[in-house]
Amino acid sequence: MMKQAEHSTAMWTLAGQGVVNGYAIGRAAIMGAAALEVPHYYIEAEAAEAECARLNQAMNQARDDLMSIVQQLPADAPREIVPMLEVHRLLLDDPMLRQQSGEYITERLYNAEWALATQGQNLAAQFDQIEDTYLRERSADIRQVIERVLLILSGQASTPNELALQLDHQEAGLIVVARDISPADMLRLRKVRFSAFLTDLGGPTSHTAIVARSMNIPAVVGLGELRRMVRDGDKLIVDGFKGVVIVNPSEVVLQQYRQLQAQHLSQREQLDQLRDTPAVTLDGVTVQLEANIELPEEAQDAFEAGADGIGLFRSEFLFMGRASLPSEQEQFEAYAAVVRTMQGRPVTIRTLDIGADKTLDGEQTVATNPALGLRAVRYCLMHPDLFQTQLRALLRASQLGLVRILIPMISSMDEVFAVRQALAQAELSLRAEGLLDPFQYELGAMVEVPAMAIAIEPFAQNLDFLSIGTNDLIQYVMAVDRADAEVMGLYDPLHPAVLRLIAHTINRAESYGKPVAVCGEMAGDARLTHMLLGLGLRCFSMPAAQVAWVKQEVLKAHSGALRHKVAAALNRAERIDLQKLH
């Protein structure tokens, strides 16, 4: 365990990234790192075979442990846990980890622990260089898998249970503080009472964040050195809205946050009553509130939250963390499950958005600028067999209900025509196999490349719907890498240029009678709801947990008045004052 920093009882704060809104007040419960001090020594050449066998046996045991955990999952376990554990199981069989570690034993005569840790560091370093946030954070999977095997090699249990036992015998209100939390450990912690958790590592797409959202418990990740700087029993305040942790708060600050916590809980109870209330503005304009999902199982959460449909199913999550591509049947079953769950509500499925910085078979590639490289639709059109498999699965799912096929990274009409041709080919091949029921689908595109937003008219004419991906659109308009902390201050959703492109897209599509959604982070930020309504937006797509918060703002809004105010500000090229819109 890391050595504790010099401790102080004075109040201090640390900022990270809030991944679940809410407030928590409680005592710190420090979760020790599972990583071990790895022994480094050379073995004799004649002992290499036995050392390889020792490593393989430990890796096999770790894999069997994971399978056992899956088989014994409780009924109320988060639905995200199974695919997370499956990623870890696949890593344990990945030749890049198992075979290469074995070569370090046989060729360099490293002991098993040293060999495994060395290869793990190599793989984690490769992932850390990846541009894509989700893929970069998969280095945490590698680290957690290796820690599990190292614990077995050391003769210890495969996962730490001490914290779960500690929590189980203490009062509610404890806050877990950890360097990182593996999916299996998170499952154990879910069985006991705690009010929030904080991690040094992680980001918005890390496992910690995913499970936090499923549990709807305040969480802050990416805190850097918090676990080293606090002690068991320290009093903490967690502000999930601001991504802030307050250590040893004063009585005045405690009282302020107790009031905020009570207000937030009261709001959540009131919002639950809005589930079946239509999202209609004060002047009678109906607004669609849809949900973003990464996994098929999350569609149930969207349905229960009262979402009007699925506005974005990121299908690439079906392709990640596995040794082989998902088959057509596997993809069909995933898409069909979402369609069935939504019971007639529309389902928007984005085609595979991958490429440039990482290939699907695990081979690393080097791109001068991955954000501008061979990704999304460009990648799919360069790999027609892969694209045909996905399109066939999507078309088959559309026989069960309306499927809106969403194409990312479109920048030219040639790409639209190429996708139309690929769809026609997929439909023809399915008809030839005897699928006679009608295909119920619409074709749309992500508006995230400025060239498309500027010249939106032909796209609006030739597509059935549009969905604005504000995350990438802002990045490209502002020439700011949204993953680069040094320039994050320039990543500005309220910049007049960004808002003008959004307004232009909505207005021109409206003139052709084509619906437009926003599925980026802006749509789920209730502070921006009135502004987006003022831009003319009538369809928002967001995490399911945000639907009620955004609906509350819609119900308080007068869309006509907002359109006038926002248009006036854009005409003057002024920054919009959000306070004046309420």
CATH number of the domain that residue 200 is part of: 3.50.30.10
Mark out the alpha helices in 22-111 (DSSP H runs): 48-71, 81-92, 95-108
Regarding whether 311 and 424 lie in a shared domain, the answer is yes
Of the candidates 52, 88, 380, 519, the residue annotated as catalytic is: 519
Is 397 within the bounds of a domain? yes
Regarding whether 92 and 26 lie in a shared domain, the answer is no
Token digits of residue 399: 């026989």
pLDDT in tens, 167-198: 444 444 778 888 877 655 665 565 556 788 89
Whether 264 is a known active-site residue: answer no
Regarding whether 278 and 239 lie in a shared domain, the answer is no
pLDDT in tens, 40-85: 778 899 999 999 999 999 999 988 888 887 777 766 666 667 777 7
Regarding whether 568 and 458 lie in a shared domain, the answer is yes
Regarding whether 107 and 246 lie in a shared domain, the answer is no
Token digits of residue 408: 């990312």
The CA distances from residue 417 to 182, 227, 353, 394, in Å, are 44, 53, 18, 18
Q: Domain range spanning residue 130? A: 45-153
> Which regions of the chain are under pLDDT 50?
1-6, 33-37, 157-172, 205, 356-359, 361-366, 485
Regarding whether 397 and 297 lie in a shared domain, the answer is yes
The pLDDT assigned to 93 comes to: 85
Regarding whether 516 and 401 lie in a shared domain, the answer is yes
Give the containing element (helix H, strand E) for 256: helix 251-272
Q: Rounded to an integer, what distance in angstroms lies between the CA atom of residue 359 and that of residue 474?
A: 25
Task: Choose one of 253, 286, 308: the last residue of a domain.
Answer: 253
Regarding whether 218 and 149 lie in a shared domain, the answer is no
Whether 52 is a known active-site residue: answer no
The pLDDT assigned to 136 comes to: 60
The pLDDT assigned to 150 comes to: 84
> What total of structural domains would you count in the chain?
3
Is 293 within the bounds of a domain? yes
Regarding whether 361 and 494 lie in a shared domain, the answer is yes
* CATH code, domain carrying 353: 3.20.20.60
pTM for this entry: 0.67
Is 431 within the bounds of a domain? yes
The pLDDT assigned to 338 comes to: 97
Task: Choose one of 131, 153, 175: the last residue of a domain.
Answer: 153
Is 258 within the bounds of a domain? no
Regarding whether 173 and 149 lie in a shared domain, the answer is no
Task: Choose one of 112, 137, 153: the last residue of a domain.
Answer: 153
Is 263 within the bounds of a domain? no
Is 260 within the bounds of a domain? no
Regarding whether 279 and 230 lie in a shared domain, the answer is no
Of the candidates 52, 88, 207, 539, the residue annotated as catalytic is: 207
Is 177 within the bounds of a domain? yes
- Residue 525 DSSP symbol: -
Regarding whether 565 and 417 lie in a shared domain, the answer is yes
Is 483 within the bounds of a domain? yes
